[in-house]
Amino acid sequence: MWAIFPLQDLLALKEEYATRPAAEETINDPTNPKHYWRYRVHVALQSLLGDNEIKETIKDLVKCSGRSYPTTEPGENQGAGKQAVESQ
């Protein structure tokens, strides 16, 4: 399953990245013919890659929504379902 998440929505998960004024976050203003579709990322990619907190938050949201495969990481809760079935 594919899922598309607008980058500005993901950045809004952490207050540090959500400090820009709303007017700067506007992607399109249909009332202004000179305002073209655009979004300028205000965070360096290296900064995001090094931010383990935001990466964990996004990973947890994806896993909890059932949009990840495999659903568990190697070594994480392996055999828990099997043990529950065997104990019944």
- Tokens read off for 49: 């890659």
Q: What are phi and psi of 25, to 5 degrees?
A: -85, -10
Intra-chain end-to-end CA distance of the chain, in Å: 33
The mean pLDDT of 66-73, rounded to a whole number, is 69
User: Is the confidence at residue 71, as pLDDT, over 70?
Assistant: no
pLDDT category at 29 given cuts 50, 70, 90 is: confident
User: Is the confidence at residue 76, as pLDDT, over 70?
Assistant: no
Per the omega criterion (within 30 degrees of 0), is the bond before 70 cis?
yes
What are the structural domain ranges in the chain?
7-86
- State the number of CA atoms in the 13 A half-sphere of 65 facing the CB: 11
The pTM of the full predicted model, rounded to 2 decimals, is 0.59
- Tokens read off for 83: 């043990």
